[in-house]
Structure 1
Amino acid sequence: MNSVTLDDVARHAGVSPATVSRYLNNPDIVSERTKLKIEKSISMTGYVPHAAARALASNKSRMIGAIVPSLDNTLFGHSLEEFHQYISNSGYTMVAASSRYDVEEEREQIIQMVAHGVDALLLVGLSRDDGIYDLLNAKGIPYVINWSIDTTLRHPCIGFDNHDAASKVTQYLLDLGHRDFAMISGRLEGNDRAQHRLQGIRDTLSSHGIVMPDSSVIQSPFGVQHGQQGFRTLMSRDKKPTAIICGSDPFAYGAIFESKSMRIDVPRDVSITGFDDTWLAEHLVPALTTLRTPQRRMGVLAAEYLIARLKEQAHPVPALLDVELVVRDSCAPPRS
Structure 2
Amino acid sequence: MTDRVLPTLEDVALKVDVSTSTVSRCLNEPWRVAEATRNRVLTAVAELGYSPNFGAQVLAAKRTNTFGAIVPTMSNAIFARGLQAFQDELMRNSATMLVSSSSYDAQIEEHQIRTLVARGADGLLLIGKRRSKSIYKFLEGRGIPVVMAWTIGKAHPWSYVGFDNAAGSASLAARAVELGHRRFAFLSGERAMNDRASDRVRGVVRVLRQNDLEHSGMCIIESAYTFDAAGDAFQRIMESSPRPTIVMCGNDVQAVGALKRAQALGICVPEEVSITGFDDVELATVVEPGLTTVHVPHREMGRRAAELLLAQVAGECGPKRIKLQTHVVERQSLAPPGG
**TM-score in same-fold range (> 0.5):** yes
Deviates more, 1:267-276 or 1:86-95: 86-95
For structure 2, the 5+ residue unaligned runs are none
Question: Which position in structure 2 is the counterpart of 1:184?
Answer: 187
Query: Secondary structure at the residue paired with 2:332?
Result: coil
Cα distance, 1:215–1:180 mapped onto 2, change above 3 Å: closer
Q: 1:151 & 1:117 partners in 2: Cα distance?
A: 26
Q: Deviations over 1:121-176 (max 9, x none)?
A: 11110011233233223323111111000047542100010010000000011001
State the shift of 1:102 in Å. 1.1
Q: 2:270 & 2:64 partners in 1: Cα distance?
A: 53
Contact 1:12/1:41 (<8 A) preserved: yes
**1:173-252 pair list within 5 angstroms:** 173-211=176-214, 216-252=219-255
Question: Which position in structure 1 is the counterpart of 2:136?
Answer: 133
Contact 1:2/1:47 (<8 A) preserved: no
Pair 1:45 & 2:48 matched: yes
Question: Which position in structure 1 is the counterpart of 2:91?
Answer: 88
Query: Secondary structure at the residue paired with 1:167?
Result: helix
**1:1-336 pair list within 5 angstroms:** 3-21=6-24, 24=27, 27=29, 31-32=33-34, 37-151=40-154, 153-211=156-214, 216-314=219-317, 317=320, 319-335=322-338
Aligned-residue RMSD, C-alpha: 2.3
Contact 1:181/1:212 (<8 A) preserved: no
State the shift of 1:12 in Å. 2.5
**What one-letter code is carried by the residue in structure 2 that aligns with 1:165?**
G
Q: 2:62 & 2:124 partners in 1: Cα distance?
A: 17
Cα distance, 1:318–1:45 mapped onto 2, change above 3 Å: farther
Q: 2:229 & 2:112 partners in 1: Cα distance?
A: 27
Contact 2:156/2:320 (<8 A) preserved: no
Q: 1:38 & 1:214 partners in 2: Cα distance?
A: 68
Identity over the aligned pairs, expressed in percent? 36
State the shift of 1:41 in Å. 3.2
State the shift of 1:280 in Å. 1.6
Query: Secondary structure at the residue paired with 2:323?
Result: coil
May I ask how many residue pairs the two structures share in their alignment?
335
Cα distance, 1:300–1:232 mapped onto 2, change above 3 Å: same
Contact 2:158/2:319 (<8 A) preserved: no
Cα distance, 1:30–1:256 mapped onto 2, change above 3 Å: closer
For structure 1, the 5+ residue unaligned runs are none
Query: Secondary structure at the residue paired with 1:221?
Result: coil
TM-score, normalised via structure 2 length = 0.92
Q: 2:318 & 2:44 partners in 1: Cα distance?
A: 34
Contact 2:155/2:320 (<8 A) preserved: no
Q: 1:211 & 1:2 partners in 2: Cα distance?
A: 76
**What one-letter code is carried by the residue in structure 2 that aligns with 1:27?**
E
State the shift of 1:32 in Å. 4.4
State the shift of 1:261 in Å. 1.1
Deviates more, 1:53-62 or 1:165-174: 53-62
State the shift of 1:260 in Å. 1.1
